[in-house]
Amino acid sequence: MTDKYAVIGNPVSHSKSPLIHKMFAEQTGQDISYEKIESPLDGFADTTAQLRGDGYKGCNVTVPFKFEAFQLCKQLTGRARAAQAVNTLRFENGEILGDNTDGAGLIADIEQNLGCKLLFKKVLLMGAGGAAHGVIWQLFNAGASIVIVNRTLDKAQLMASEFTSYGTVFASSYEGLAGKQFDVVVNATSSSLSNKLAPLPKGVFAPGSLAYDMMYGKQTPFIKFAREQGAAIASDGLGMLVEQAAEAFYKWRGVRPDTAPVLAKLRLQ
């Protein structure tokens, strides 16, 4: 019997997750289906309840429902609890179990696929929403020190205060970055979705630095700016997407797929 999974978001039509999980299933011999579900903005809990009622085994959660998914869960992994956001749900024994695989996906892509070790690196994390919450704990775990920058300084300060017990973290406005340089700059804002660039000052990219945009599928204004500013590596988030999906697949199926051929195929599309 085929086990059913899905990704829930709004919007979700652009998602490559069904294709990725199809390739994982073929590679590992798992009998699953995986589809896109667009939930009304005010209907995430109802959508999740309907999937559970229809016998789905789990789902991924994308923008803008990761904080709401966190609230739904009866059980949480340590990394989901630290992130206070959930992107992977497993339905088991009448309960909803929550995990967050975003941070693990980001670290795997940066350290393994792009060859940039994060130990002792100065990281600028752009944004203070669900995407940033999902990765900050894993960045600390990898040994980075972090500055959170956000258009609304209060939000950056609040987020920094939530994570001071995990590592070295500061909050900043974009104006406050003038004259500072970072080894790694991660764009976790939604600016690339609307083809805009957050107001990064010139000079933020240190020599040999990595610029990483969680958005994928096109040359974003952030990637273009990073290259103009001398970033040694400028990457989109396709690798993170594949790596976090592999982590979710492993949570659901107990089998870890090989991400390299899947990522290579997606890059050719």
pLDDT at 193 over 90: no
Tokens describing residue 180? 């500072």
Mean residue pLDDT of the chain comes to 96
Q: Which two tokens stand for residue 140?
A: 């600390």
User: What's CA 50's distance to the chain center, in Å?
Assistant: 25
Annotation marks residue 218 as catalytic: no
Structure confidence by residue, pLDDT tens digits, 83-111: 999 999 999 999 999 999 999 999 999 99
Q: Which two tokens stand for residue 24?
A: 């994982």
> From the CA atom positions of the chain, what is the Rg in Å?
18
Q: Is pLDDT of 28 > 80?
A: yes
The pTM for the full model equals 0.95
| Cβ–Cβ under 8 Å, residues 226 and 205 | yes
| Catalytic site residue from 66, 155, 224, 251 | 66
pLDDT tier at 14, thresholds 50, 70, 90: confident
> CA–CA separation, 243 vs 224, rounded Å?
24
Find, among 138, 127, 125, the residue nearest to 78 by Cα.
Answer: 138
Tokens representing 117 are 């070790």
Which domains can be identified in the chain, with CATH numbers?
Answer: 3-100 (3.40.50.10860), 103-236 (3.40.50.720)
**What pLDDT score does 81 carry?**
95
